[in-house]
Amino acid sequence: MPELPEVETTRQGLAPHCIGRRVSEVAVHNARLRWPVPESLADTLTGRLIQRIDRRGKYLLLYCEHEANGHVGVLMVHLGMSGSLRLVEPGTDRKTHDHLVFSLSDREDDLDAEPQWELRYHDPRRFGCCLWLELPVEQHPLLVSLGPEPLSEAFDDQHLFRLSRGKSAPIKSFLMDSHVVVGVGNIYANEALFRVGIHPLREAGGISQARYKALSAAVREILAQAIERGGTTLRDFVNGKGEPGYFQQELSVYGRAGEPCVRCNKPLTEVRLSARSTVFCARCQR
């Protein structure tokens, strides 16, 4: 599943090529995603200027202005478990799972001109979404209860310590709770806990604020490193140009069950926690 670094990598890759262009046409080839594509999406989006592309958690937010009335709405995209947004040249053969195609005009605002790019939403498992939101987007049911961004100032040891009091849930589950903090998915939770030596099954409420300070710093560092390297490619993820990410080459524990720990050489242990692979070193993590 694309996690925060993969989504942020996609945002950064698309922005220079999409901002300032108009959507000249929308083709919906399959509307049956996790949340069905609105029937009116093509009519609503066609002719709008893409002003900016933001991210909230794992959701991409394309802010689009209507030329006639100045109305701004937002195309919200979630990549689900296997989705991607890719820029291709017009005329490129459409793949089986290219469910939506957005034709983007040149920057001269001539909608009758030949499109310069096609932005294609590709999703073999169809577990993502492409929805139209009205402002303010923060009030949408899928966004309203999300926790702070892990790379923001709102995410720190005080935030984690305060929310963890009285919690008996394992620290890994607590860290992956989007109400606590957004975007810390399975891969990066495993890596952050290893970096600071915290056992993933420890109760969140039993961890000191000092250790939460180290953990919050590790989360920020690992996510920033993953973004810099284009994310992690384990199965399906590619960025907006169809390129994989390379952070998987630096993973210390995730996907390495049974292999020697990079610190103590003891074989790494794997357990299932909430149906997700959890890999750790029983000697180094307490």
Tell me: cis bond preceding 136? Omega within 30 of 0 counts.
yes
Q: What is the CA radius of gyration of the chain?
A: 21
Residue 229 scores a pLDDT above 90: no
Residue ranges of domains in the chain = 4-139, 157-280
Residue 63 scores a pLDDT above 80: yes
With tokens 């053969």, the residue in question is: 93
Q: Just list the catalytic residues.
A: 2-3, 58, 276
The mean per-residue pLDDT over the stretch 236-258 comes to: 64
pLDDT tens for 171-199 read 999 999 999 999 999 999 999 999 999 99
Q: 234 falls in which pLDDT band (50, 70, 90)?
A: very low
Q: Phi and psi for 157 in degrees, rounded to 5? A: -65, -35
Q: 276 falls in which pLDDT band (50, 70, 90)?
A: very high
Can you give the pLDDT at residue 249?
A: 60
Mean pLDDT of the chain: 90
Distance, in Å, from the CA atom of 88 to the CA atom of 117, rounded to the nearest integer, reads 6
The mean per-residue pLDDT over the stretch 111-136 comes to: 89
Can you give the pLDDT at residue 80?
A: 93
Short-list 134, 25, 26, CA closest to 71: 134
Show binding-site residues for DNA. 97, 125, 167
**Which CATH fold would you assign to the domain 157-280?**
Helicase, Ruva Protein; domain 3 (1.10.8)
Residue 43 scores a pLDDT above 70: yes
Percent of the chain with pLDDT over 70: 90
Domain 4-139 has CATH 3.40.50.300: no
The mean per-residue pLDDT over the stretch 11-26 comes to: 93
DSSP H or E stretch at residue 28: strand 23-28
Can you give the pLDDT at residue 239?
A: 44
Short-list 219, 256, 251, CA closest to 233: 251
Distance, in Å, from the CA atom of 17 to the CA atom of 260, rounded to the nearest integer, reads 43
